[in-house]
Amino acid sequence: MTYRICLLPGDGIGPEVITQAEKVLKALGLQFEFEVGDIGFGAYKKHGTPLPESTMESILKSDATLFGAVTTPPDIPGYFSPVVRMRQALDLYANIRPCRSFDHPASRPGIDLVVVRENTEDLYSGVERIEDDGNRAIGEMIITRRASERVSRKAFELARAEGRHKVTIVHKANVLRQTCGLFRRVALEVASDYPGITADEMLVDTCAMELVRAPGQFDVIVTTNLFGDILSDEASMLVGGLGVAYSGNIGVKAAVFEPVHGSAPTLAGKHTANPIATFLSAVMLLQYIGEAAVAGRLRQAVLDCIAQQAVTPDLGGTLTTEQVTDRVLSAFEIVPERK
Ligand SMILES: NC(=O)c1ccc[n+]([C@@H]2O[C@H](COP(=O)([O-])OP(=O)(O)OC[C@H]3O[C@@H](n4cnc5c(N)ncnc54)[C@H](O)[C@@H]3O)[C@@H](O)[C@H]2O)c1
């Protein structure tokens, strides 16, 4: 079986980490056909748009997509976020960001949580306007029953599939009574379909505080787009930071896996970008296409490198991006298949 994989390198360190991930994927003993798509500021300079139609077509005809990162250029009229547009246009409705402790001094122990973030609406709907001669800016926070329902169901299904016991519904319904109120109501309705899983709820400000105070209490967090964006970055810092934070954008017609970090322009070309977040995104991709055993071996190889301090400077190591890749590849060769 040959899997079609779309690679979207993007800008800054994006191409560097995607090149490393491609090397790793090619060494796993599976059959892949790769197609590379343009996205980001580089794509804008080449095609006049940061998200060309050809890229969307590549994603749609692939079994899964691995994306690097893009740079947001300074004010260019008409420029839009290709990441937000891609998520909305492909209806990648659930953004899944696992956050587990690593065996490394930069990671706190005892953390194993997943943030499931609604990915298509909220304040990221793109409905913004300027009034009063530029003195008043308005952005609409759009929450629908449909999006709230399906992302909540995704969170409870994930909990069930992974043998997790609790889903925390995070909102700000005490103040945002209509928008967050609807999200909260629908999520609690969905929860009633899963009697074996405890559903609790928490205000977003409390959640931000509790993530720092006692992160071990969380299992699955389900929340709206903006809150999930912020909380998942916060959670990533508990276990080592952006260099190891990975994610999947899951829809019905497509799935795009990506490191949580951005294009880190100051690191580009310096061979110090940590490729581990992209490798772990590739692990999620392998699980998604049904290659759980290979995914498990690759994950273990990455965890072994982290535990042995075979890492880049952001994690206190001395290896280059390419040397980390070599270590993961040699570790992969000796990791046995999991039963
Ligand atoms: N999904 C995306 O493509 C995405 C996400 C966030 C930011 N961005 C864009 O990226 C650009 C830079 O944004 P930023 O600086 O706020 O965020 P960033 O994630 O690029 O960098 C934040 C910090 O983390 C470090 N870092 C990030 N990834 C790393 C890695 N793999 N290895 C080692 N260190 C790493 C950087 O050096 C920097 O100190 C901006 O143009 C922003 O709009 C893109």
Residues 247, 231: one domain? no
Residues 230, 250: one domain? no
Residues 321, 199: one domain? no
- 284 residue type, one letter: M
Residues 281, 233: one domain? no
Using the 3D structure, point to which of 238, 266, 291 is the last residue of a domain.
238
Options 26, 61, 205, 270, the catalytic residue? 205
User: Is 45 designated active site?
Assistant: no
Mutate to test the pocket of ligand 1, among 234, 261, 267 (most ligand atoms within 8 A of CB): 261
Q: CB of 250 within 8 A of CB of 257?
A: no
On the question of pLDDT at 336 being above 80, the answer is: no
The whole-angstrom separation of Cα 46 and Cα 43 is 5
Residues 169, 245: one domain? no
pLDDT, tens digit (0-9, with 9 covering 90-100), for 269-313: 999 999 999 999 999 999 999 999 999 999 999 999 999 999 999
Using the 3D structure, point to which of 194, 214, 238 is the last residue of a domain.
238
The model's pTM: 0.95
The whole-angstrom separation of Cα 154 and Cα 96 is 9
Residues 327, 298: one domain? yes
pLDDT, tens digit (0-9, with 9 covering 90-100), for 51-60: 999 999 999 9
Of the candidates 281, 277, 331, the residue with the CA atom closest to the CA atom of residue 305: 331
Residues 291, 227: one domain? no
Of the candidates 43, 98, 332, 78, the residue with the CA atom closest to the CA atom of residue 238: 98
CATH of the domain at 9: 3.40.718.10
User: Is 79 designated active site?
Assistant: no
Domain of residue 211, residue span: 108-238
70 lines ligand 1 (CB under 6 A): yes
pLDDT, tens digit (0-9, with 9 covering 90-100), for 58-92: 999 999 999 999 999 988 988 999 999 999 999 99
**Domains in the chain, number:** 2
Q: How far is the CA of 263 from the centre of ligand 1 (A)?
A: 5
Is 206 part of any domain? yes
Residues 73, 120: one domain? no
Q: CB of 116 within 8 A of CB of 158?
A: yes
What pLDDT, on a 0 to 100 scale, did the predictor assign at position 339? Answer: 46
**What is the average pLDDT score of the chain?**
96
Residues 272, 312: one domain? yes
Is 291 part of any domain? yes
Residues 157, 120: one domain? yes
The whole-angstrom separation of Cα 273 and Cα 254 is 27
Residues 1, 70: one domain? yes
Using the 3D structure, point to which of 189, 208, 238 is the last residue of a domain.
238
